[in-house]
Amino acid sequence: MENIRKFAAVAQIKWLCISKNTTLMSGIVITILMVFGYKILYGLNSGGHLSPVMLSLLLNLGISMNICIDGFLMVGTEVAEEKEKHTLRVLMTSSVTGIQYFLGSIIYPFIITIVLNFAILFISGIPMEQVSLPLFLVVNIIASLTSCIIGMIVGICAKNQMSANLISYPFIMVFMMLPLLGGISEFLHKLSGFVFTGVITDMAECFANGEEYILKPLAFVVLAGELVISLLVFLLLYKRNGYEKD
Amino acid sequence: MEQKILLKLSHISKRYKTELALKDISITLHKGEILGFLGPSGAGKTTVIKIITGQLHQTSGEAMILGTNSANIDASIYENIGVVSDNSGLYDKMTVWQNLAVFAKILNVPSGRIKEVLKQTGLSEHSKKQAGKLSKGQAQRLVLARAVLHKPRILFLDEPTSGLDPSTALEIHKMLLDLKEEGMAIFLTTHNMDEATKLCDRVALLYDGNIVEIGTPKELCLKYNHNKKYKILLEDNKEILLEQTPENADKISGWMKQNLIQCIHSCEPTLENVFLQVTGKPIDA
């Protein structure tokens, strides 16, 4: 009960901060507008009907952008902002434990990323009969969770919001750009199969092409492995210095 | 009557790589007492607070807080203590009320208490204002309100009036004396000697990682009053400074008999002078 109360309080703080952070909120809006805008633009060029290639490009763009920009940044920037404004130490000296802070920090970004991925799926206009919603939900949950944990890694390493953005770039380059560039190079496409964002965009691509998606062992290992690795890296960093180095 | 000991430090030392920040700190804090920890910037005052509150580990020695060794404390200790540092932050985009409400939730405090501390800190009329729009004094009062929300048994204050204007500092002082009256033990670090003299029941002078003197402000000032002097204002508005000698005692006695003295003051050293005498360096050096 006490754990839930404190976790809920941290989550409430995070929600109040995220909802009043115009940069983060515009990230969400831009992702949706971008998918919507590209859908209209692609539609204009193809007489209102999106080809499977266009549809998969659209999904690829929206989902990678959501997972990377919204997931990483929302969590990472918020932790960094707490350090910058000296509220993190206040929280940690108010009887909040590390795990309560961790869960409270990721819960809303996690939910937002999942919901947004579904929104992107619906906005793209993909025929729903082509989509395996349970499979998409499972992969979406794992990918969003990994994204939030990477956000915590960014937050734990960053001293302020500026450095959080800087630290995020390599992650964004790998996890967002690789699946996106996979469309123009076969080599990069193969490489993107080794990142969790590549797995989810690959699945979306299959749905767009009207093909049945089967989660192959490699894809499962990538999804589960990167979730575990990101969690281990986070724990290692947390064990070394806590959330904030003295 | 002997008051209950809430905090006890025994031979605490702290080494950062090659630098020995604290050498041998031993001190106690009792219920309803304000203990001042005085020293120049970099003397180790904040390090002591961080060790006591479990944010740092000492290199040697033992710190007991509310009967628990600080090496064994967990997050639950913060349900009984309050910490205010000179850079304790606020959630700028949240209102004053929200800033307190989320901590009330964490510390399981009823919302009625929020109203109480807002009234106590004079922030009731600002409860709907964004914390980022408060003046520096109001923000510091909010930080203090948050720290006492759960009625902690010990309140740690690290330079609580640093950078505040005199009238706001006075308001904070009044609040601290009220909290002391309620039985709260207050551990105050400051380099403001006037503040320490006014507020503290006992003060410890920290220099170069050691406590070089400890006692009540009055005791310390009297102890280092080696060269007793008196400042006298005579009826003709002439101000005279006299040392304590048999001749001067006769002179003062004579003026008194003739009713020539408007006022007379003994000139004990201030805590600032005591610090200078003990360490050979001024506190703001």
ipTM for the complex shown:
0.88
> For A7, which residue in chain B has the nearest alpha carbon?
B106
Cβ of residue B264 closer than 8 Å to a chain A Cβ: no
* Same domain assignment for residues B253 and B150: no
Give, for all 285 residues of chain B, the pLDDT tens digit.
456 899 999 999 999 888 888 999 999 999 999 999 998 888 888 889 888 888 888 999 999 999 888 888 888 889 999 999 878 899 999 999 999 999 999 999 999 999 999 988 889 999 999 999 998 888 989 999 999 999 999 999 988 887 778 888 888 888 899 999 999 999 999 888 888 999 999 999 998 889 999 999 999 999 999 889 999 999 999 999 999 999 999 999 999 999 999 999 999 898 888 988 888 888 765
User: What is the reported pLDDT for B162?
Assistant: 78
Residue A126: its pLDDT value, please?
87
Say if residue B56 is in the same domain as residue B149: yes
Higher-scoring residue by pLDDT: A210, B86: A210
Say whether both B122 and B242 belong to one domain.
no
Round to whole Å and give the CA distance between A88 and A94.
Answer: 10
B138 and B210 belong to one structural domain: yes
CA distance A156 to chain B (A): 17
Distance from CA of B211 to the nearest CA of A (A): 24
Query: Does the residue B278 lie in any domain?
Result: no
Same domain, B167 and B233: no
Residues 6+ apart with CB under 8 A from A160: A80, A81, A83, A84
Judgement on whether residues B10 and B119 belong to the same structural domain of the protein: yes
Residue A21 with chain B: CB contacts under 8 Å: 93
On whether residue B127 sits in a domain, the answer given is yes
Give the residue on A whose Cα is nearest the Cα of B73: A95
Same domain, B50 and B169: yes
pLDDT, tens digit, for every residue of A54-103?
A: 888 888 889 998 998 888 889 999 999 999 999 999 999 899 999 999 99
* Any B CB within 8 A of A90 CB: yes
Which residue from B minimizes the CA distance to A87? Answer: B89
Q: Number of folded domains in chain B?
A: 2
- CB–CB contact B88 A96 (8 Å): no
CB contact under 8 A, B78 and A93: yes
The answer for A 55-84 residues in CB contact with B (under 8 A) is 82
A contact residues 115-174, partner B, Cβ 8 Å cutoff? none
Give A-chain residues touching B142 at CB under 8 angstroms.
Answer: none
Is residue B280 in some structural domain? no
Q: What are phi and psi of A232, to 5 degrees?
A: -65, -40
Selected residue with higher pLDDT from A106 and B2: A106
Mean pLDDT of A137-159: 94
- Note whether residue B283 is domain-resident: no
Q: B241 and B123, same structural domain? A: no
Helix, coil or strand: residue B6: strand
Is residue B272 in some structural domain?
no
B230 and B155 within one domain: no
CB proximity A20 to B under 8 Å? yes
By Cβ distance, the residue of A16, A85, A94 closest to B106 is A94
In a domain? residue B75: yes
H helices then E strands: how many in chain A?
Answer: 12, 0
Please state the domain extents for chain A.
Answer: 2-241
A228–chain B Cβ distance below 8 A for any pair = no
Here the tokens at position B226 are 């080696």
What is the pLDDT, as a whole number, of residue B257? 93
- C-alpha dihedral, A171 to A173 to A177 to A178, nearest 10°: -70
Grade residue A38 by pLDDT with cuts at 50, 70 and 90.
confident
Residues B157 and B204 in one domain: yes
pLDDT of the residue at B3? 64
A74: CB partners within 8 A, 6+ apart: A18, A24, A27, A108, A109, A112, A113, A151
d(CA A131, CA B201): 73
Q: Do both B18 and B43 map to the same domain?
A: yes
Helix (H, G, I), strand (E, B) or coil at B13: strand
Q: Does B238 touch chain A (CB under 8 A)?
A: no
Task: Identify the domain containing residue B257 by its residue range.
Answer: 226-267
pLDDT tens-place string over residues A114-131 = 999 999 999 988 888 888
Within this chain, do residues B136 and B254 fall inside the same structural domain, yes or no?
Answer: no
Q: Which of B102, B107, B111 would you mutate first to test chain A, the one with the most A CBs within 10 A? A: B102
Q: Mean pLDDT, to the nearest integer, of A194-208? A: 90
Cβ distance of A5 and B56 shorter than 8 Å: no
pLDDT average, residue stretch A187-195: 90
**DSSP states along A89-129:** HHHHTTT--HHHHHHHHHHHHHHHHHHHHHHHHHHTT--GG
Tell me if chain A has a CB within 8 Å of the CB of B267.
Answer: no
Return d(Cα B131, Cα B170) in angstroms, integer.
21
